[in-house]
Amino acid sequence: MGTLYIVPTPIGNLEDMTLRALRVLREVSLIAAEDTRTSRVLTRHYNIDTPMTSYHEHNKNSKLDEIFAALTRGDVALISDAGTPGISDPGFELIATAIARGCEVVPLPGASALTTALVGSGMASDRFIYLGFLPRKAAALSEMLAAYAGRSETLVAYESPYRLSESLGAIAAVLGADRRVCVAREISKKFERFYRGAAGELCERFANDSPRGEVTLVIAGADSSALIWSEAQVKQALIERLEAGESLSRAASEVAKRARWKKNMVYRLGLKEG
């Protein structure tokens, strides 16, 4: 059985390809690529003529037999459109299956928008939480942000430029307009920019000006002074939700997450207010 190599590819600048990654792509018997059209731009640039097959979200199940047949004959490299395979793409399923079948898996270090945006944001990087792609629906997004509102770790997420303004608005509403945010766009490309500021300010900045290209959001963790809400803050949040038509049980549950209170304490406070 051959080795499955996990090979990061540039997230923008083709010069970000490592020498080891180039050697592996030339030596393996097959390259499994998320989008062969995108990947052939890279292989043509570096004069790599290794056979290539597609492996993506819509064909991942039907492609397993082909890829593991190739592994019986030699080594295979897994690449994504950009960055490190297995992070928010179907590559992780191939990797997990290979490990389960006893195949040797060798990950190569390399380009990643996640870590590049984090260190470029200027925020704390000793502890962080990766949220993946943010939910598209407003309610789901608010619920996710509320769950992390009191966490002191830096948060990192991927977002579409077309939903950036709405997401920044949700961050300002749930985490606070003053919460520090960095919008990293087109990392390593010609028009790379890092926009740093308060969530409210950046929301206004992008209200009528959606940026082009890939976007990575870095959100500062909560200050220690803001980890636990005061009783007055809890009461106000409860009143707002109850006036909006939420049940006391639902309102208490959501406020408890944001306030870092126990739900039963918030619920009892709501009963007193009622």
Q: Helix and strand tally (H, E) in the chain?
A: 11, 10
Q: Residues of the chain with pLDDT > 70: what percent?
A: 98
Specify the CATH architecture of the domain 113-223: 2-Layer Sandwich (3.30)
180-201: average pLDDT: 95
Residue 273 has pLDDT above 80, yes or no: no
Contact by Cβ (8 Å): 2, 72:
yes
What's the pLDDT at 11?
93
What's the pLDDT at 231?
83
Work out the number of other CB atoms within 10 angstroms of the CB of residue 138: 14
Closest to 181 measured CA to CA, from 168, 166, 192, 190: 168
Domain layout of the chain by residue ranges: 3-107, 113-223, 231-273
Contact by Cβ (8 Å): 9, 83:
yes
Residue 211 has pLDDT above 80, yes or no: no
From CA 139, how far away is CA 155, in angstroms rounded?
A: 19
Class of domain 3-107 as given by CATH: alpha beta
What's the pLDDT at 225?
60
Closest to 184 measured CA to CA, from 112, 81, 87, 89: 112
Residue 203 has pLDDT above 80, yes or no: yes
What's the pLDDT at 4?
97
Q: In the numeric block, which tokens belong to residue 170?
A: 């949700």
What's the pLDDT at 220?
97
Residue 259's pLDDT band (cuts 50, 70, 90): confident
Closest to 231 measured CA to CA, from 252, 257, 261: 261
* b/e code 45-76 from CB counts within 10 Å (16+ = b): eeebeeebebbbeeebeebbebbbebbeeebb
Residue 197's pLDDT band (cuts 50, 70, 90): very high
230-246: average pLDDT: 86
Element (H, E) at 67: helix 60-73
Q: In the numeric block, which tokens belong to residue 185?
A: 């766009």
What's the pLDDT at 109?
96
What's the pLDDT at 239?
87
Model confidence, pTM: 0.78
Closest to 117 measured CA to CA, from 196, 14, 8, 171: 196
From CA 218, how far away is CA 196, in angstroms rounded?
A: 9
Q: In the numeric block, which tokens belong to residue 86?
A: 């297995």
- pLDDT tens sequence across 14-71: 999 999 999 999 999 999 999 999 999 999 999 999 999 999 888 888 888 899 999 9
* Residue 238 CA: distances (Å) to CA of 42, 138, 158, 173: 54, 20, 31, 15
Strands 215-219 and 180-185 come out as antiparallel
From CA 101, how far away is CA 123, in angstroms rounded?
A: 40
Specify the DSSP class assigned to residue 53: E
- pLDDT tens sequence across 83-135: 999 998 888 999 999 999 999 999 999 999 999 999 999 999 999 999 999 99
